[in-house]
């Protein structure tokens, strides 16, 4: 195996291609075999680089996995302002219509509980911000009369995230964006939501 990355003069950025290859290899292994199969050695072999190349980027497996999950899920930061709740569900549906992302998310659902260090690191790096963004969108909808004043937004948030898990585990990975959006909206309306027009 040959490390394709030459020695870098001070300040020279690392190869983006190698970065992408390492993260893609980690995501592939996670989807195919689970968290335990994602080792520095296996990732290096799959990416076609040396272990030293991986270690220079990620000193340990947890940091490698958190970065890989962010890349695999395109975990961009939530917007600064609350998103309209139907727009939020449309974004979820768009992502959940991607078979690779469905498989990755399903693997996470069954893995994080058994790997508390990874769960904590990923929570701090990504999940916490997303949960806060979801809550902000629900509050925005309630404040604009979309939910009854007495609605328990914590329960509604649990219902919506549970609906995502239900769809991932009961529906085919060929589900279309429209099918997923309609499913999530149907669940949302059962919470007392008074929505407007379905997003185009």
Domain residues of the chain, as ranges? Answer: 13-72, 85-191
Q: What is the pLDDT of residue 91?
A: 92
Calculate mean pLDDT across residues 148-176: 96
CATH code of the domain made up of 13-72: 1.10.10.60
- The answer for 13, left when phi > 0, alpha when psi is -120 to 50, beta otherwise, is beta
**pLDDT confidence band for 177 (50 / 70 / 90):** very high
Q: What is the pLDDT of residue 71?
A: 87
Calculate mean pLDDT across residues 150-162: 96
pLDDT: which is higher, 110 or 87: 87
CA dist 137 and 83 (Å) reads 5
Q: What is the pLDDT of residue 3?
A: 47
Calculate mean pLDDT across residues 171-198: 90
């Amino acid at each position: 195996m040959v490390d394709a990355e030459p020695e870098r003069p001070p300040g020279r950025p690392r190869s983006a291609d190698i970065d992408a290859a390492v993260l893609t290899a980690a995501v592939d292994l996670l989807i195919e075999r689970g968290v335990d199969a994602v080792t520095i050695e296996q990732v290096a072999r799959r990416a076609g680089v040396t272990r030293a190349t991986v270690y220079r980027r990620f000193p340990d497996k947890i940091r490698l996995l958190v970065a890989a999950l962010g890349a695999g899920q395109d975990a961009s930061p939530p917007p600064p302002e609350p998103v309209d709740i139907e727009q939020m569900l449309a974004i979820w549906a768009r992502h959940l219509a991607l078979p690779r992302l469905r498989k990755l998310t399903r693997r996470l659902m069954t893995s994080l509980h058994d790997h508390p260090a990874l769960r904590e690191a990923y929570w701090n790096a990504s999940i916490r911000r997303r949960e806060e963004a979801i809550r902000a969108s629900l509050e925005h909808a309630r404040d604009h009369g979309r939910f009854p004043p007495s609605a328990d937004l914590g329960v509604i948030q649990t219902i919506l995230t549970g609906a995502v898990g239900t769809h991932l585990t009961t529906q085919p990975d060929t589900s279309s964006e429209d099918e997923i959006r309609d499913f999530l909206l149907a669940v949302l309306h059962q919470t007392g939501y008074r929505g407007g027009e379905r997003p185009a």
